[in-house]
Amino acid sequence: MHSLPAIAGNGPGPRCTVPTGRPNVLYSRDMPVEPAKLCIVRYPDPVLRQRAEPIETVTDEVRAVAARMLELMIEAPGIGLAAPQVGLTWRMFVVHVPESHPDDDPDEDNRSPGDDPPTATATPMVYINPMLSGYSRDLVSESEGCLSLPRITGQVRRPSVVTINALDAYGKPFTAQAGGLLARCIQHEFDHIEGVLCIDKFLPPDRRRAAKQLRVMENNADAFTPGATARG
């Protein structure tokens, strides 16, 4: 997920990004992962539509991948990144929603790890094999963007509070409640490990507006496909 809804998709994007449509390595479970070579993949890479599989054991390799994902997320800049976005069908994502700063947009809601429930993270977080529950009954509409869908944003309705159960980077289980932007980011990243993108949840006007940009990305992907016929 992009850094903040108000500026989602307006930045230059990460320096390490697989161009749209370029063939990307999809690691199988028996292949060793080289974290330093991981980059953010873009729509319409097929890995973004695959439902991720649980991580059986939290190993040094898993921690190294999580550290690399945090590097890519911060560099982008973003506030969340899921394993499928770096070509891994793992049920893992990382999140860091910073506390509000005096220079932030005054129209944005204040965020703090000390809120009840927390609306920001004190430090970057790793969520492994997460499960969501305890959704609030309200649906709040806010703009969302995605690091795998540069410059595409749209309104998405989500519950304002959610509870997450997951393993941390050392395999220790924990439960946490989140509200506000943190809750939205967690739900956005959880969608990724389910093979769901924010464009699937855009409100109709934004979905129509994004359609042209998505077609361009799809056509560019076709151009990288071996044997593909160029489209005029």
Nearest to 148 by CA among 223, 77, 75, 44: 44
State how far Cα 50 lies from the chain centre: 14
Rounded to whole angstroms, the Cα distance separating 113 from 70 reads: 19
Rounded distance between C-alpha atoms, residue 112 and residue 120, angstroms:
5
Return the residue matching tokens 């506000």.
180
With a CB cutoff of 8 Å and minimum separation 6, the contacts of 54 are 91, 129
Angle at 229 between CA 223 and CA 230, to 5 degrees: 60
Neighbours of 158 (CB within 10 A): 23
Q: Supply 81's token pair.
A: 């990144």
Q: Using CB atoms within 10 A of its CB, is residue 128 exposed (0-12), middle (13-18) or buried (19+)?
A: buried
Determine which one of 61, 99, 144, 189 is catalytic: 189
189 is annotated as an active-site residue: yes
As a whole number of angstroms, the distance between CA 19 and CA 21 comes to: 6
Distance between CA atoms of 226 and 22, rounded to whole angstroms?
Answer: 10
| Cβ–Cβ < 8 Å for 31, 25 | no
Catalytic residues: 189
